[in-house]
Copies of this chain bind each other. A is one copy, B any other.
Amino acid sequence: MKNVTIKDVARAAGVSYSTVSRALSGSPEISADTRERILRLCKEMNYTTNTIARAMVVHSTKLLALILTDISNPFMSELAYYIDQQARSRGYNIILCNSSRSTELEREQFELMIGRKVDGVILVPSESSSYESLKPLLGRMPTVFLGENLREAPESYVSVDNHRGAFMGVEYLYALGHRKILYFGKRRGSITHQLRDEGYIDACKAYGLTPRYLNNSFTSTSIKYGYQLAKQLFAQPIDYTAIFAATDTNALGILQAAEEAGIRIPETLSLLGFDNIRDSGLPRINLTTIEQPKKLLASMAVDSLLDKIQNEMTGYTHRVLTPALIERKSCRRIV
């Protein structure tokens, strides 16, 4: 497992090792034929440049960290795919870190990454408190937050316009004839969810509807959690015609509970989600939802971060994308 170094090549070529370095880096100050000869030799000897040795001197690892809560979550894994793609096309690789939704672990990972000398980090925060928790470290590493709207915080982020998305959702349901729309998933501790909630409320105001909630506060975004809460919900009388779920995963849980309770979607009850995760487009699921444009979010996050890195960190950018409604089959027009 001993590797060929620049010195080995130099020796074989009978030149100094700085010459080899020049040949490799495509420097102009070297004669065409020595370059050729050296390059050929490198091939023959299976030389691969040691990226970390280079990193030490050029002060750049061409490595980005992606810190997210859980790569097995379909929303995250899609983001990750696009981020990797975009990063690679710009010559970077990604170190993947799962924070498992713990701010502490998140912080720990972040510190580790600064030790690893990654060039920057993209962070999908585990909670709204992430920003505060990470604040002391932010000055030490170019960072862009992804997926969470940090409002006026002086840090770069790219997210979707959650307020607008929720507003659009209500608008859509209203146009379909719904007047009694239950919002499912009001959640503390997440700006994203606060904004969605506000969007819901504002839309209700705008259309003269009364906001309705299920009387529970949320902690989780999982399918299982949505299922459990929906189960309680369906044990009570249903005095609404549509449910607007704060996330698709919640909606999936609702779907299951509805099935078990014999409530037909969309026949008896309309259901609208938010995020447009892969699962939502699956046959038999066909969830109508507000989409977060994952590919765009991803590439903007990468671009934004690389800008920051390459232009030596002047200021920050907030980019907020408008979501779109994806119409499938979980909402129906009512009389």
Residues of A whose CB lies within 8 Å of any CB of B are 1, 3, 46, 48-53, 55-56, 61, 63, 66, 70-74, 76-78, 80-81, 84-85, 88, 93-98, 111-112, 114-117, 140-142, 223, 227, 252-253, 255-256, 259, 278-279, 282-285, 313
Tell me how far the C-beta of A286 lies from the nearest C-beta in chain B, rounded to whole angstroms: 9
Pick the contact of A282: B76, B80, B98, B285 (CB < 8 A): B285
Are A56 and B48 interface neighbours, CB within 8 A? no
Known contacts A72-B81, A96-B94, A282-B279; A52/B55 CB under 8 A: yes
Q: How far is the CB of A203 from chain B (nearest CB, A)?
A: 28
User: What CA separation (Å) do A132 and B3 show in the bound complex?
Assistant: 22
A96 lies within 8 A of B111 (CB): no
Tell me which residues across on chain B come within 8 A of A93, comparing CB atoms. Answer: 95-97, 112, 116
Identify which of B49, B255, B256 contacts A115 (C-beta below 8 A): B49
A116 to B53, CA, bound (A): 9
How far, in whole Å, are A300 and B227 apart by their CA atoms in the complex? 33
A138 to chain B, nearest CB (A): 11
A80 pairs with B85, CB closer than 8 A = no
- Find out whether the CB atom of A96 lies under 8 angstroms from the CB atom of B96: yes
CA A141 to CA B140, docked complex, whole Å: 33
Complex CA–CA separation, A252 to B81 (angstroms): 22
CB proximity of A139 to chain B, nearest CB, Å: 8
Contact check, A117 vs B51: say whether CB atoms are below 8 A apart.
yes
Q: Contact check: which of B55, B74, B259, B284 meets A77 at CB < 8 Å?
A: B74
A1-B140, A223-B282, A283-B256 are contacts. A84–B111 as well, Cβ < 8 Å?
A: no
Given contacts A3-B140, A279-B282, A282-B252, contact A48 B223 (CB under 8 A): no
Residue of B nearest to A4 (CB): B140
> Bound state CA distance, A97 and B70, in angstroms?
17
Q: Known contacts A3-B114, A282-B285, A284-B285; can you find 9 more A-B pairs with CB under 8 A?
A: A3-B140, A46-B140, A51-B117, A52-B117, A72-B80, A72-B81, A76-B77, A94-B96, A227-B283
Partner of A72, one of B53, B56, B78, B283: B78
Is the Cβ of A52 less than 8 Å from the Cβ of B56? yes
Residue on B nearest A255 in the bound complex, by CB: B283
- Distance in Å: Cβ of A301 to nearest Cβ of chain B: 15
